[in-house]
Amino acid sequence: MKNYKIAIVPGDGIGKEIIPAGLRVMNAVAEKYGFALTTSNYPWGADYYKNNGVFITPEGLEELKNFDAIYFGAVGCPDVDDTLPAMLYTFKIRTTFHQYVNYRPVKLLPGVNSPLRYKQHEDIDFVVIRENNEGEFVQNGKILYPEEPHGMATDTSVFTRKGIERIAHYSFKLAQRRRKKVTNVTKSNTLIHSLAYWDKVIQEVSLFYPDVEYNKMYVDNASANFVLRPEVFDVIVTTNMIGDILSDLGGAIMGSLGFGPSGNINPERTYPSMFEPIHGSAPDIAGQNIANPIGAIWSAGLLLEHLGEFAAAESIYNGICETTKAGIFAKDLRGNATTTQIADAVISNIEQFIAA
């Protein structure tokens, strides 16, 4: 029997509720599909920082290298500086483990009405591939003389040929398995050095994939098309910051950020990949058992898919679809189902799917 080692990092806020819900679903499918999960729990995050002065222990990264994957909730607390979680936890994990692909599906689930009232479920089905290690979020900058009249601040983006090529190749290969269309979302008409270079390298990579339609779209136009014509997208490849923004817009047109899953992926598997819902820690509703766990459960499915357990991953997605089709929603969709009840419903639907 295969046995996968999974690091569990619930993080802060609702992470402590949605990750246990997702883990219950993973354990249920593991039993049904004949593999095992060996999990280890870690208390890292902003709450841990308040008590220990660090978001993750000094030896934590070395420990995580021994796992097949990381299952993560969310990080952040109202009384902790909001610039710290990304710098001291999220970015540290993503860069140390070369998780250069941020994979975020945008798909309207059955039974959910999108805010886009004229769009049907087949119209909203694409993936945002966000370059995850370079670009605008490398935190390469400085603040000089902050209290002086001549104070100034800089942040310098970093785009390398290697970084652009590898995210482009990943995107085109993904498109070959989907509807064979890649859209490069850029802003090279104003960022005439960094993103012009980004466009140039992606155009060069596109020549290796003659079976895939390639288009370029400026981010302002893409934002409008997310709302007006989401059906034109299949695989979007874009930069770290643009992808961060657009994928939340994608969550919104799905009906709620609570539905959105993601993977921070090291395609070469030399390091563990990390899977997490796209939403934040939502401290205002934490501890009430009302958070929507679908994004976390779907992220668990992406985790198993990454490990090669395709049938188990498909059953999780089917269990989610049957649950939303039945109108079992949390408060974010004006429903009254609890976090626990939604996880129960997904597990029940998975069991029915397998038995069918």
Q: Which of 6, 56, 13 is closest to 279 using CA atoms?
A: 13
pLDDT at position 356: 61
pLDDT at position 141: 87
Average pLDDT, the chain: 95
* pLDDT beyond 80 at 269: yes
State whether 122 and 93 are in the same domain: no
Tokens of 71: 């299952």
DSSP 231: G
Would you say residue 291 lies in a domain?
Answer: yes
Would you say residue 107 lies in a domain?
Answer: no
Write down which residue in 218, 233, 253 finishes a domain: 253
Would you say residue 136 lies in a domain?
Answer: yes
Number of domain units in the chain: 2
- Could you read off the pLDDT of 202-250 as tens digits, one per residue? 999 999 999 999 999 999 999 999 999 999 999 999 999 999 999 999 9
**Angle at the Cα of 88 (from 87 to 89), degrees rounded to 5?**
100
Domain containing residue 65? 1-100+264-356
Would you say residue 258 lies in a domain?
Answer: no
State whether 95 and 136 are in the same domain: no
Report the C-alpha gap between 319 and 333 in whole angstroms: 18
Report the C-alpha gap between 12 and 340 in whole angstroms: 18
> Per-residue pLDDT averaged across 33-56, rounded?
95
Report the C-alpha gap between 47 and 78 in whole angstroms: 10
With beta carbons less than 8 A apart as the criterion, state whether 184 and 238 touch: yes
State whether 123 and 228 are in the same domain: yes
Write down which residue in 197, 218, 253 finishes a domain: 253
DSSP 123: G
- Could you read off the pLDDT of 170-200 as tens digits, one per residue? 999 999 999 999 999 999 999 999 999 999 9
State whether 161 and 237 are in the same domain: yes
State whether 25 and 89 are in the same domain: yes
CATH number for the domain including 196? 3.40.718.10
